[in-house]
Structure 1
Amino acid sequence: MPSSSLRSSSESESSSQEYLQRLLDSGRPFLRGELEAIDENLPSLVGVLRSVGAGECWHKHGTFLEHLVDIYRILKIWKAQDSVCLCGLFHSAYSNSYVNLAIFDPSTGREVVRSHVGDAAERLIHLFCVVPRQSLIHDDLLFHYTDSELVEHLKQSEVSLAAPATNSNSNNQDQIQEDHSAAPWSWRKKLQTLVPANGITVKHIKTGEDVLVSRRVVAVFLMMTIADFSDQLFGFQDELFDNIDGRLEFKGNNYAALWPGDGKPGLWMNSISRIAAIYTLIVREEAIFVQERKITSATATGDKLDKSRDEDIELVVPPVFDKCTRVLDAKEQLAARDLYWEAVCGMSSSSKREIVDDGRGADDEEATAVLLRSCVERKPFYWGATCGVGSGLFDKSKV
């Protein structure tokens, strides 16, 4: 028994080290500014954005160009498809429902952007810029779920995911329906209502025309929103949107809020963990949908990708929130942020020493380190946000 436990512990440590090494290997070219090592076209693409003024536009905590490269970096480290990463790099090039930068004019610039990034990426970029993203992601999706419902649906979907595979030798639709009745499928009914297999029709933010957004593109925009929020949200937005409870539900519009505010880390982790959970539900629903089509199709067409549904877009699972399966508690997030803030600047040196003093005279640095370690140990998923490293968001439980 001891040897088995020792081996298990050793394997876990080795796995964590390998995970960290892969993460460092992915991030090192960005840290060194070796853009050509990431993609031979990346330096010229960044040059294009710089030449049209992206580096001259202020954006949250830096320039718009820096933000665009940040989003590209996050998506690239998450192993997203090239077209998705390029969408991140140019994601507001035509302006969008949140910002009105309009670096490229949508009526004359699409061919220009297409010549740089290709058809697939430009299509995603244009869609991202013309859909009402706030209502699509928050009003029409996120706000339809409670936290507990998401947790339950994640459990149900994990069970359901294995069910179609048991019928891989069956062409009987009745058999599939029977199996569905024996498994917890309520999560699918709700998701299919909110995001049908054929996509969602929304209104173009400028023309009012109908725009069809496939379910996979909705998923891509969810993933991009996770990356986007993690890069740019701070305490200022909490004050701006009256985010007192940490759920980021945009309850207020405090136009008197002044940048940069008090500098506190933002309370956005609960929100994007819920977005990540919905992303996982879509990924699992898509896997089941495609598998069912293969089972019920009497021809070879069932095995082909349906490009009208954007099935050529691979839905990777970002390595965050335990592979997008953990819904973080808003109150825990708030407690972690306050504990960090207290350790950094809210508690006197003497008070810190009193907390950790064991009679040998702990100094200020040691006391602060103890408080920060306590924050990490008690709230492992939150420490990256509280320390201001959202752009490198990953599963802290692995390192």
Structure 2
Amino acid sequence: MTLPLHPLDQQLFTRAQALLDDEWIAHDADLAPVLPTVLARNVGQDWHKAGTFRHHLVGVARSLTLWQQPRDVRLLGLLHSVYGNAFVDLVKFDPASERARLRELVGESAEHLVYLFCTQSRTQFVQRVLGGGPQADGSLVLDKDGQRHLLTPYEVAAFIIVSMADTIEQWFSWQDDIYSRFPNVQHRPQAVHWAASLWPGPMRPTGRMLHQIAGLGQALQHPGLQGLLPVPPVFAHCTQHLSVASEAAATSLYWSVIQQDQPLVDLDVATAVLEQAVRHNPWVGEPQMVLAQLYLSAGRRDDAKHAAQSALQCFSAWGNAWDKRVQWDAWVAWTRILLQSATEGGWPERLDKLNNVALRG
């Protein structure tokens, strides 16, 4: 059965390449002027899910940059939690006294988006976008403190896109448990569920949230939201659905290979399991990348090339890793080595020589 692999969009990959260097943001005309002020608030020292708060803010901004979002939306990504919110107790700017300072730094439109994003209920936002969806004109009503607040279509589109980037940057198995069934989270006693509480846990990729990200993306196809902002390139430019069952199956199959819960002498079973994972969820790069390496080990260079190209396309579309065990740039680097070996030959026969592989040229 043919695998649902993707051709590599060279323009998208070129945009992704420009973001591989950690210093990319220091050279970004829109974000660089804001960065020193943000860093001065010790965001590089604060814990945040799979890294630090700095890693998170920059990672969200990276996806939004890759997705060619305008300045105010990218600044929202970089600053999306600085006033604090219901999910984190971090408050880097006091909304009661420092709004004018942030407004002076980033401009009125960007600060307005940041303030709304931090102070409105994001749980309610996700529930309503995925539930009834926006109103006919693309606007959305949220309730807060007994008052109704109307988000404009532009604000709805911006919040959807930033929520997609925010989720893919941070979510992994630890949050699957502590925020189980988000946005409809049940309040469970921490001491009783101590095993789920242990951070970072097994670092398994999420088995729940890509379905939700896909649903948010599909909401951008609403007539009232179309054309307001560039559509992220994930899920075939937000046109494709990912079912709950398919996501769960793909994650479990992938993880069974990573945990070596398959026969280890020959690679036929692991290969078949990964192929099935890709069929269930063709929208993330890591299963395709591991599959490319298995194909190389089996001498199937053409198959390895197609799988590596598809993996690279997925990594280039997201700008963040699905499997958080290593960072996005490391996944991209290893995938490029696999693609190079599949294209030019030279995959090591000796196990120890894997330590020597490097990009050429």
Q: Judge same fold: TM > 0.5, yes or no.
A: yes
Instruction: Provide the rounded CA distance (Å) in 1 between the counterparts of 2:138 and 2:277.
Output: 44
Contact 2:126 2:183 in 1 (8 A): no
Contact 1:114 1:122 in 2 (8 A): yes
1:240 positional shift: 1.7
| Match of residue 74, structure 1, among 55, 59, 63 | 63
| Match of residue 269, structure 1, among 210, 224, 231 | 210
User: Are residue 315 (structure 1) and residue 229 (structure 2) matched?
Assistant: yes
User: Residue 26 and residue 125 in structure 1: after superposition, are their counterparts in 2 closer, same or farther (change >3 A)?
Assistant: same
Q: Which is greater in Rg?
A: 1
Which residue does the alignment assign to 1:380? 282
Which residue does the alignment assign to 1:94? 83
Instruction: Provide the rounded CA distance (Å) in 1 between the counterparts of 2:241 and 2:47.
Output: 33
1:314 positional shift: 3.3
Which residue does the alignment assign to 1:34? 23
User: Are residue 335 (structure 1) and residue 335 (structure 2) matched?
Assistant: no
User: Residue 384 and residue 227 in structure 1: after superposition, are their counterparts in 2 closer, same or farther (change >3 A)?
Assistant: farther
Which residue does the alignment assign to 1:56? 45
Counterparts of residues 252-331 of structure 1 (less than 5 Å): 252-254=186-188, 255=190, 256=193, 257-258=196-197, 259-267=199-207, 268-281=209-222, 284-286=223-225, 314-331=228-245
1:355 positional shift: 6.3
Higher relative contact order (CA 8 A, sep 6+): 2
Instruction: Provide the rounded CA distance (Å) in 2 between the counterparts of 1:114 and 1:102.
Output: 16
Structure 2 alignment gaps of length 5 or more: 290-313, 323-338, 340-361
1:100 positional shift: 2.3
1:347 positional shift: 1.3
User: Are residue 224 (structure 1) and residue 162 (structure 2) matched?
Assistant: yes
* Counterpart AA for 2:73: V
Greater Cα shift, 216-225 or 22-31:
22-31
Contact 1:344 1:368 in 2 (8 A): no
| Match of residue 241, structure 1, among 158, 179, 182 | 179
User: Residue 386 and residue 232 in structure 1: after superposition, are their counterparts in 2 closer, same or farther (change >3 A)?
Assistant: farther
Contact 1:265 1:385 in 2 (8 A): no
Contact 2:137 2:153 in 1 (8 A): yes
Contact 1:75 1:85 in 2 (8 A): yes
* Counterpart AA for 1:26: R
User: Residue 34 and residue 24 in structure 1: after superposition, are their counterparts in 2 closer, same or farther (change >3 A)?
Assistant: farther
Contact 1:269 1:385 in 2 (8 A): no
User: Would you tell me which structure has more helix in proportion to its own residues?
Assistant: 1
Instruction: Provide the rounded CA distance (Å) in 2 between the counterparts of 1:339 and 1:374.
Output: 8
Counterparts of residues 144-183 of structure 1 (less than 5 Å): 144=132
| Match of residue 16, structure 1, among 7, 27, 47 | 7
- Deviation by residue 1:211-255 (Cα, 9 ceiling, x = unmatched): 331122112111111111111111112222334xxxx55353443
Instruction: Provide the rounded CA distance (Å) in 2 between the counterparts of 1:276 and 1:98.
Output: 22
1:315 positional shift: 1.6
Contact 1:86 1:117 in 2 (8 A): yes
Which residue does the alignment assign to 2:353? none
Structure 1 alignment gaps of length 5 or more: 1-12, 145-190, 288-312, 357-366
Which residue does the alignment assign to 1:130? 119
TM norm structure 1: 0.64
User: Are residue 392 (structure 1) and residue 330 (structure 2) matched?
Assistant: no
Instruction: Provide the rounded CA distance (Å) in 2 between the counterparts of 1:198 and 1:277.
Output: 13
Which residue does the alignment assign to 1:84? 73
Contact 1:242 1:253 in 2 (8 A): no
Greater Cα shift, 249-258 or 60-69:
249-258
User: Residue 383 and residue 34 in structure 1: after superposition, are their counterparts in 2 closer, same or farther (change >3 A)?
Assistant: closer
Contact 2:250 2:277 in 1 (8 A): yes
- Deviation by residue 1:98-124 (Cα, 9 ceiling, x = unmatched): 222110001211111112211111111
* Counterpart AA for 1:70: G
* Counterpart AA for 1:89: L
User: Are residue 142 (structure 1) and residue 130 (structure 2) matched?
Assistant: yes
Instruction: Provide the rounded CA distance (Å) in 2 between the counterparts of 1:87 and 1:269.
Output: 22
User: Residue 197 and residue 241 in structure 1: after superposition, are their counterparts in 2 closer, same or farther (change >3 A)?
Assistant: same
- Deviation by residue 1:28-81 (Cα, 9 ceiling, x = unmatched): 232113336752353342221110121121111111111011111101100111
